[in-house]
Amino acid sequence: MYSAEEKKIILQLAREAIKYYLDSNLELVKEEIDVPSVKLKQKQACFVTLTVNGELRGCVGHLEAIRPLYQDVMENAVGAAFRDDRFWPLSKEELEKIAIEVSVLSQPQVLEYKSIEELLARLKPVIDGVIIEKGEVGATYLPQVWEELRTPEVFLSSLCEKAGLAEAEWEKGTLKVSTYTVEIIEE
C-alpha cells in the first residue's frame, strides 16, 4: 500500500511526464535522487489509464516489473497519452480534461485449472486482473474491466477477442491463464 503522499507523487509524475512530452516531444527524465520515496524506486509494473469525462482516452502499461515504479509511471503515462494506437495523440486542449488512474500490479501468478468449470470458479471478478496466452499471442484486462464485463464467461470471451483469438477459445481449456491484483491510484 502506498501512502497518501506517495500516491500524490505518482499522479504528479504521470501528469508532469505527459505535459513535458506535449511541450517538448521528449521523455521526462528524473533521477532517483529526485524521488523522495524508497517504495517508488523499487521495481514495480503499472498501467496508466487516461479518461476524459469517464470515457477511455488511453491505457498503456507493463505486466512485468522491469524498472523502478516512478520510471514506469512516467513512461506509461506518455504511452497512454501519445502511443495508444486506438486513439489520436493527446492534444494540449485535452490535457486539463484528462483524469489519470495508475494501477500498480502485483506479480502475475499462473492460474492452474483442470477444467473450464474450475477456471470459471477460480477467477475473482473485480479482484483479478487476467492475462491469457496461447502461442505467441496474449492479452490482459485490468480488474477494473470487470465493471463492464461482469461474468467470467463474457470477460474471457472479450479477452480472447482482444488477443486476436476466437471468442470461444477459452472454452477449449488450452489457454495459459495468469492473474494479478492492482492498487489503484487515481485523481
| pLDDT score, position 35 | 83
Q: Check residue 158 and give its pLDDT.
A: 97
Residue 177 β-bridge partners: 132
Has residue 91 got a pLDDT over 90?
A: yes
**Can you name the residues that pair with 180 across neighbouring β-strands?**
129
Q: Which fold has domain 109-181?
A: Dna Ligase; domain 1 (3.30.1490)
Instruction: Give the whole-angstrom CA distance, residue 36 versus residue 40.
Output: 8
Residue 169 is which amino acid?
Answer: E
Q: What percent of the chain has pLDDT over 90?
A: 94
Whether residue 186 contacts residue 100, with contact meaning beta carbons closer than 8 Å, is answered with yes
pLDDT value, residue 34: 82
Average pLDDT value for residue range 122-148 = 96
Query: What is the tens place of the pLDDT at every residue in 15-62?
Result: 999 999 999 999 988 888 788 889 999 999 999 999 999 999 999 999
Q: What is the pLDDT of residue 14?
A: 97
Positive or negative CA dihedral for 13, 14, 18, 19? negative
Q: Which fold has domain 4-105?
A: Glycoprotein, Type 4 Pilin (3.30.700)
Does pLDDT of 166 surpass 80? yes
| Average confidence (pLDDT) over 86-101 | 95
**134: phi then psi, degrees, rounded to nearest 5:** -150, 115
Give me the residue spans of the domains in the chain: 4-105, 109-181
C-alpha cell at 112: 492452474
- What CA–CA distances, in Å, run from 113 to 20, 45, 187? 46, 26, 37
pLDDT of residue 31: 84
- Per-residue pLDDT, 32: 80
CB count, 10 Å around CB of 148?
A: 10
